[in-house]
Amino acid sequence: MKTLQQLQAIIHYQFNDELLLKMAITHRSFSKNNNNERLEFLGDSILGLVISGHLFNRLESASEGELSRVRASLVKEESLAMVARDIELGEFLRLGSGELKSGGFRRASILSDALEAIFGAIYLDGGYRQCEKTILFLYQDYMVTLPAPGDLKDPKTSLQEHLQGQKIELPVYDVVNTEGKSHDQIFTIECRIEELSVLTEGKGSSRKKAEQMAASKALAQVKK
């Protein structure tokens, strides 16, 4: 495992209290009571604020909805995991034996949580301005060309706007099947547009994901 000094060199920040950084890279599987969950909670909020401020100043003509969509694209789990992989964060994580064997150091959820925890630790150790500086440094490659707000609309929103523009009644979403145990369910959702005789189906680990998949398929059909 790499050292805390190496990680601090990579993120361009030297901690006054290295115990905060040690806590930030400690997963719950390693220590039930002394792990990064609370720091992750703090870092999540700070990340949102830093990215919001940056986008507010940079995208002067963007609406509130457009700013929200661009921010969401930057702070979502997949984006955080990409940043974490850029700095090889997985090689620094303190994981329990089970997570080590199952490749937890590569898992997006673990990587994203740890990165947010580091942001929280930096905030406590060096203050908001230092945390902002570190976040923007780590995100610099992703800030060069920001995605167009219009390209970030989710399928449900895009489908709704398309149908409204055509003066067609909005789709109806119904749960047609639920499989698996309560903590690991798969939802099957139907999206129905009566006026166009469109019926599509989507599956996902949450109702929202299944609806988005069904909406995406419906959108593809109505735009043919």
Q: Which of 181, 224, 221 is nearest to 205 (CA)?
A: 181
Is residue 190 a contact partner of residue 171, using CB atoms and an 8 Å limit?
Answer: no
Amino acid at 224: K
Catalytic residue among 116, 132, 190, 211: 116
Q: Is the pLDDT of residue 168 over 90?
A: yes
pTM above 0.85, yes or no: no
User: Distance (Å, rounded) from C-alpha 147 to C-alpha 152?
Assistant: 7
Q: Is the pLDDT of residue 73 over 90?
A: no
Amino acid at 142: Y
Q: At 224, is the pLDDT very low, low, confident or very high (cuts 50, 70, 90)?
A: confident
**What's the average model confidence in pLDDT over 93-100?**
91
Strand partners for 179: 186
User: Distance (Å, rounded) from C-alpha 4 to C-alpha 150?
Assistant: 41
Question: What percent of the chain has pLDDT above 70?
Answer: 97
Q: At 149, is the pLDDT very low, low, confident or very high (cuts 50, 70, 90)?
A: low
Amino acid at 40: E
Q: What is the pLDDT of residue 139?
A: 94
Three-class SS of residue 151? helix
Q: Give one DSSP letter per residue of 164-180, joined into a string.
A: HHTT-PPPEEEEEEEES
Q: What is the tens place of the pLDDT at every residue in 53-64?
A: 999 999 888 889
Strand 172-179, strand 198-204: pairing = unpaired
Catalytic residue among 44, 125, 132, 211: 44
Q: What is the tens place of the pLDDT at every residue in 97-122?
A: 988 888 888 899 999 999 999 999 99
User: Distance (Å, rounded) from C-alpha 122 to C-alpha 105?
Assistant: 21
Q: At 150, is the pLDDT very low, low, confident or very high (cuts 50, 70, 90)?
A: low
178 phi and psi angles, rounded to 5 deg: -135, 125
The CATH number that domain 155-222 falls under is 3.30.160.20
Q: Is the pLDDT of residue 143 over 70?
A: yes
Question: What percent of the chain has pLDDT above 90?
Answer: 69
Which helix (H) or strand (E) covers residue 203, if one does? strand 198-204
Burial 142-179 (b: 16+ CB within 10 A, else e): eeeebeebeebeebbeebbeebeeeeeeebebeeeeee
Q: Is the pLDDT of residue 80 over 80?
A: yes
Instruction: Identify the residue with better confidence: 11 or 66.
Output: 11
Q: What is the pLDDT of residue 148?
A: 67
Mean pLDDT for the chain overall:
92
Amino acid at 43: G
132 is catalytic: no
Domain range annotation of the chain: 4-149, 155-222
What token pair was written down for 224? 């043919």
The CATH number that domain 4-149 falls under is 1.10.1520.10
User: Distance (Å, rounded) from C-alpha 19 to C-alpha 70?
Assistant: 34
**What's the average model confidence in pLDDT over 35-51?**
97
Q: What is the tens place of the pLDDT at every residue in 14-28?
A: 999 999 999 999 999
91 is catalytic: no
